[in-house]
């Protein structure tokens, strides 16, 4: 009697199965079709291999190994994070890919050459995969499975600086917003600094919960962001991961389930955009560019306000909003502003201090509405609102004076975690370490705050002590 074979097809179906259960209320026919196609392809591969080697059991094992490497490569990569051999990270994509191919070739040769029937192996593999399918399903159907898993909203407002800089440099007092945050349960340190002065490096720090400079990641921030630890943990905890369009086209997170505000028309080629920026159609390109940015930003705030009322879940919402960073496209009340053409090119934008304040007021008003809606509809939610970096507006960006560095590292940082009272270690690098320790029973140690700037040779300089000692005039 031939063995019943199902495990390679269930392995191929499992990633789809998780997404189906997570997002069952948002599924469309295309999603189901994709899932069925994946399974069908695995069946076809098994049939072809069976025809070639004339053994269904061996073909199933070869198919299963291939499916495993294809669909679970990222999980293995995450599990091997931090493991070094001869000072080389074994989870580096190129290295792990070579190892995977070698293992697949060796195992295939072994299965083909072996005289074993592998009947017992097939039975065990069937039981394991069926069990996995059932375990995943039970996580979603057991009442109260999500009871202790709060929704998490992380809103990063690009270049949103702290109140000290706003008062002393821009003559603007943001105290009303800070009072609003305090009344809604947010914790805010007396002073918060970003670790880096650039968005990719800072997001890398936040979403990987570690200092890239100590791991050699700085040169590879984009790849580290794509496969970041934070989203991986939330995915493992069966969270639905939602991201809004930030206009930063280098972002391409692997674990995102839903992307919002990405359907707005935009020139997809940055290369083409740069080529045409000085062309005869420059004016029309800038108009399109400005209108699209406004639409994306408005869409983002609207979606963030509405998403809290959606009941499916647990969900992790990550939103990087490109305000109050220039170009300055909004007035304080959200009215359209037509920026100077020099601002689009990054020339006038750093001089326009009033434009920065106007756009900051707009961003503040919008994020206040978002917070009100989240707290009203999702009172147990965790909310993080912060700047990625401080602002360079009003500075001489050609210099690196301590005053300018202090300003560009000073950020808004506000965290609302209803069930956590110990905020001594709360800072950007520890945000998710604290959340994961308290809600997912993990054991991350809390890191000390460090900040860095770079010299003319792009070498990183630790400026932590200087920042804390400096007095901004």
90-99 long-range CB contacts below 8 Å, 24 or more apart? Answer: 93/223, 97/73
**Which of 261, 265, 263 shows the shortest CA–CA distance to 285?**
265
CA distance 240 to 217: 27
CATH 3.40.720.10 positions along the chain are 152-469
152 torsion bin: left (phi>0), alpha (psi -120 to 50), beta (else): beta
Q: What is residue 144's predicted lDDT score, i.e. its pLDDT?
A: 46
Return the pLDDT at 2.
58
Q: What is the pLDDT of residue 138?
A: 77
Residues of the chain with pLDDT under 70: 1-2, 22-28, 78, 81-82, 86, 91, 139-148, 213-222, 249-251, 264-286, 311-312, 340-349, 397-398, 456-458
The Cα–Cα gap between 84 and 42 comes to 34
Q: What pLDDT sits at residue 400?
A: 76
Separation of alpha carbons 116 and 461, rounded Å: 61
Q: Name the pTM for this structure.
A: 0.71
Name the residue among 314, 315, 334, 316 with its Cα closest to residue 324. Answer: 334
Tokens of 289: 């560019």
pLDDT at residue number 105: 92
For residue 347, list its beta bridge partners: none
Q: What is the pLDDT of residue 207?
A: 95
> Are 341 and 326 spatial neighbours (Cβ–Cβ below 8 Å)?
no
Secondary structure (DSSP) of 31-76: HHHHHHHHHHHHHHHHHHHHHHHS-HHHHHHHHHHHHHHHHHHHHH
Class of 152-469 in CATH: alpha beta
Candidates 64, 69, 38, 36; CA nearest to 49 is 64
C-alpha to C-alpha distances, 99 to 79, 211, 421, nearest whole angstrom: 15, 28, 45
What's the distance, CA 376 to chain centroid?
A: 25
Length of the chain: 473
Q: Convert the pLDDT of each residue in 37-52 to its tens digit.
A: 988 999 999 999 999 9
């Amino acid at each position: 009697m031939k063995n019943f074979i199902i495990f390679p097809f269930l392995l191929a179906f499992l990633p789809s199965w998780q997404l189906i259960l997570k997002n069952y209320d948002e599924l469309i026919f295309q999603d189901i079709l994709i899932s069925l196609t994946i399974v069908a392809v695995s069946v076809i591969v098994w049939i072809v291999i069976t025809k070639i080697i004339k053994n269904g059991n061996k073909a199933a094992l070869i198919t299963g190994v291939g499916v495993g490497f294809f669909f679970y490569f990222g999980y293995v990569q995450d599990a091997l994070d931090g493991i070094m051999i001869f000072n080389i990270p074994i989870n580096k994509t190129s290295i792990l890919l070579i190892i995977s191919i070698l293992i697949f070739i060796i195992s295939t040769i072994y299965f083909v050459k072996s005289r074993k029937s592998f009947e017992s192996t097939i039975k065990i593999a069937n039981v394991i995969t069926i069990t996995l399918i059932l375990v995943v399903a039970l996580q979603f159907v057991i009442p109260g499975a999500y009871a202790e898993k709060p929704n998490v909203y992380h809103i990063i407002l690009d270049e949103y600086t702290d109140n000290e800089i706003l008062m002393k440099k821009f003559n603007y007092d943001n105290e009303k917003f800070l009072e609003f945050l305090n009344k809604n349960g947010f914790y805010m340190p007396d002073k918060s600094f970003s670790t880096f002065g650039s968005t990719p490096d800072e997001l890398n720090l936040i979403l990987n919960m570690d200092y890239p400079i100590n791991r050699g990641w700085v040169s590879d921030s984009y790849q580290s962001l794509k496969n970041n630890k934070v989203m991986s943990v939330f995915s493992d905890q069966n969270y639905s991961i939602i991201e809004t369009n930030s206009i930063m086209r280098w972002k391409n997170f692997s674990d995102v389930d839903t992307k919002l505000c990405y359907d707005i028309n935009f020139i997809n080629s940055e290369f083409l955009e740069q080529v045409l920026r000085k062309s005869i159609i420059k004016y029309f390109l800038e108009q399109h560019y400005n209108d699209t940015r406004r639409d994306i930003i408005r869409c983002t705030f609207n979606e963030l306000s509405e998403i809290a009322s959606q009941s499916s879940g647990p969900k992790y919402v990550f939103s990087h909003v490109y305000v109050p960073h220039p170009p300055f496209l909004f007035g304080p009340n959200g009215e359209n502003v037509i920026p100077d053409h020099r601002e689009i090119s990054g020339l006038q934008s750093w001089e326009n201090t009033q434009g920065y304040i106007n756009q900051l007021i707009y961003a503040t008003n919008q994020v206040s509405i978002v917070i009100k809606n989240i707290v009203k509809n999702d009172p147990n939610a965790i909310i993080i609102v912060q700047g990625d970096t401080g602002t360079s507006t009003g500075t001489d960006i050609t210099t690196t004076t301590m005053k300018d560095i202090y300003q560009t590292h000073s950020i808004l940082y506000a965290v609302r975690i209803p069930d956590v009272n110990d905020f001594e270690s709360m800072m950007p690098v520890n945000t998710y370490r604290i959340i994961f320790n308290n809600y997912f029973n993990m054991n991350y140690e809390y890191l000390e705050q460090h900040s860095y700037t770079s010299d003319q040779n792009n070498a990183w300089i630790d400026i932590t002590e200087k920042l804390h000692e400096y007095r901004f005039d």
